[in-house]
Amino acid sequence: MLKKSVWKYLAVPFCLLVLLAGCGGSGGDKTDGSNDAASGKKDELRIAVSANPPSLDAQIANSNITAQIGYHIFEPLFAMDGNFEPQPVLADSYEVSEGGKVYTIKLLKGVKFHNGKEMTADDVVASLSRWVKDSQKASTLIGGSTFEKVDDYTVKMTANEASSDVITVLANPIMFAAIYPAEIVEKAGEKGITEYIGTGPYKLADWKQDQYIELEKFDDYKVRENATTGLAGKKTAATDKLVFDIVTDASTRIAGAKNGQYDIVEEVPQDNYEELEKASNLKLDVTKGGTLNLFLNTTVGIMEKQDMRQAVLAALNMDDILLASYGNKQLFEENPGWFNPDDAQWGSEAGKEYYNQNDPDKAKELLKKAGYNNEKLVLVTTPDYPEMYNATLVVQEQLKKVGINAEVESYDFSTFMEHRADPNQCSMFITSNSYNVLPIQLTVLDKTWAGLDRPEVTDGIKAMRSANSQEEAKAAWDDLQEFIYEYGGATVLGHFTGVNAVSNNVDGYEYMRFPIFWNATVSE
């Protein structure tokens, strides 16, 4: 088994890269903030976001916007610090058995939920038992693990298998292991929890669908004594109220950034990059953040055929797709890897022969081999994320040029997420996905994301998790990335640079996988 110290070493090149790329953002130095009116700080921070969250159930919603808002409301036992190492949050400490399967986790005492109840082992066991079963990422990696109460402030976890990355999985920032009151978990239905009560520095005050989400400071929150940095850092609730305005129209967000209506504007379209760069009242947080990806249905109809999926890959011209998505060539990079190309451990060009082929003749030959007979292929998308929408339209045109009957269906973000999860309603879809720390966290390996359910994936994950050296782990990842391309399950379209606009009056803004605001203030 690969020891914990080795896994930490493996993560270092990526961590350094992300830090250099702007993990802390460019929105000002971190501050503790103050709510004292005499300090000249506003009591409200307004953030314009581009989409309505499909849910605020942070355990089961596979969405960056859900995780971003959710981290202000809920807390996990462990979270990633600024070096992408897992650190305790609601946990006080933990010990691992000699066999590597049993984790004894001591909990912080005196932690209050927003409803005034103290958090105990009953809440943790109920929350994590649901999470390991219902969270796609958790069930894929540690499904079958169990949680038991030892006493009011101690929980025993028995992992499904010995692995050095268990705490990293518990600290994963998307579909994270949020701790809810046990009674909330017990009332959760198929669509998730209906009361959003956590232990975080902010509590939910109001949610008007498609309009705004308002969070207010939780007065009984106490800064964790074990706070470090990043998502495990000190949380001061420096501004009394956070308002996430849901503004799907990009031009409205841009105008609001320029005229000061919004203090922070997320998802700045790359077409507006140069315009906002010149705005004297703004600073731009420019972060090399992840990959734009095309996921293919591998289970229904003509898309079951590998030749059909390879025909799609052969037709793609990444230059045109990325230019339509990001506009400025300085804001994207072509590379087949699912990790940052500069990541010494996980950056890989395996499968590059299937990437950016731009070969219509090959695509047409593969369509003949697949027996394609003008079946309609449905590409689902959402205008709430312009880069995804624009890329989808270009892919549609490229597929049409080789004789594929490609049709685009466009929905709001929440409806898009429903359709993309149903292989009977979707032939393929495009999403932008942030970089991960380890390959096992990649959405492409999650069989419930796009239906890629193959033994090669399961075996590849197991090989990485049980590797005895970084070289062995890297080789296993190279083989798995090669398989994804060869099988035609998905393709990276390119690597993107995300842009957020931040008012010059804002201090304490941080970025780590997504923007975080618990230490942010805005001057009058």
| Domain identity same for 273 and 403 | no
- Using pLDDT thresholds of 50, 70 and 90, give the confidence band for residue 327: confident
| Domain identity same for 418 and 508 | no
Tokens of 150: 């030892």
Tokens of 68: 């971003």
| Domain identity same for 265 and 304 | no
The one-letter amino acid code at 440 reads: I
Statement: residue 339 has pLDDT above 50? yes
Statement: residue 282 has pLDDT above 70? yes
- Using pLDDT thresholds of 50, 70 and 90, give the confidence band for residue 306: very high
* Coil vs helix vs strand at 378: strand
When divided into structural domains, the chain yields a total of 2
pLDDT of residue 448: 83
H or E element that contains 309? helix 306-315
Statement: residue 11 has pLDDT above 70? no
Strand 44-49 and strand 241-246: the pairing is: parallel
Statement: residue 13 has pLDDT above 80? no
Domain region containing 452: 289-497
| Domain identity same for 391 and 441 | yes
Statement: residue 32 has pLDDT above 50? no
Residue 14 lies in a domain: no
Residue 4 lies in a domain: no
pLDDT of residue 2: 31
Q: What is the CATH number of the domain that holds 55?
A: 3.40.190.10
Q: What is the CATH number of the domain that holds 374?
A: 3.10.105.10
| Domain identity same for 253 and 323 | no
Residue 31 lies in a domain: no
Mean pLDDT of 393-412: 98
- Do 407 and 378 meet the contact criterion of CB atoms below 8 Å apart? yes
Of the spans 97-111, 128-142, 266-280, 437-451, which averages the highest pLDDT?
97-111
Statement: residue 403 has pLDDT above 50? yes
| Domain identity same for 232 and 342 | no
- Do 315 and 363 meet the contact criterion of CB atoms below 8 Å apart? yes
Statement: residue 489 has pLDDT above 90? yes
pLDDT of residue 451: 86
pTM of this structure: 0.79
Write the pLDDT tens digit of every residue in 57-80. 999 998 899 999 999 999 999 999
Residue 327 lies in a domain: yes
Residues of the chain with pLDDT > 70: what percent?
93
Residue 26 lies in a domain: no
Statement: residue 389 has pLDDT above 60? yes
| Domain identity same for 74 and 130 | yes
Residues of the chain with pLDDT > 90: what percent?
76
Mean pLDDT of 465-487: 93
First vs last Cα of the chain: how many Å apart? Answer: 55
Write the pLDDT tens digit of every residue in 195-221. 999 999 999 999 999 999 999 999 999
pLDDT of residue 38: 59
| Domain identity same for 310 and 265 | no
Statement: residue 26 has pLDDT above 60? no
Write the pLDDT tens digit of every residue in 81-115. 988 889 999 999 999 999 899 999 999 999 999 99
| Domain identity same for 398 and 322 | yes
Write the pLDDT tens digit of every residue in 416-469. 999 999 999 999 999 999 888 889 889 899 888 888 999 999 999 989 988 888
Residue 202 lies in a domain: yes
- Asked which of 82-86, 113-117, 319-323, 471-475 is least confident by mean pLDDT, the reply is 82-86
pLDDT of residue 23: 34
What number of other Cβ atoms are within 10 A of residue 260's Cβ?
12
Residue 11 lies in a domain: no
Report how far apart, in Å, the C-alpha atoms of 111 and of each of 71, 179, 500 are: 16, 11, 33
DSSP letter, residue 260: T
Helices (H), 98-212: 121-134, 136-142, 166-170, 182-186
pLDDT of residue 37: 57
Residue 294 lies in a domain: yes
pLDDT of residue 27: 36
pLDDT of residue 62: 87
| Domain identity same for 264 and 297 | no
Statement: residue 296 has pLDDT above 90? yes
- Using pLDDT thresholds of 50, 70 and 90, give the confidence band for residue 6: very low
Q: Partners of 523 in the beta sheet?
A: 41
Please state, rounded to an integer, the average pLDDT across all residues of the chain.
90
| Domain identity same for 123 and 254 | yes
| Domain identity same for 367 and 256 | no
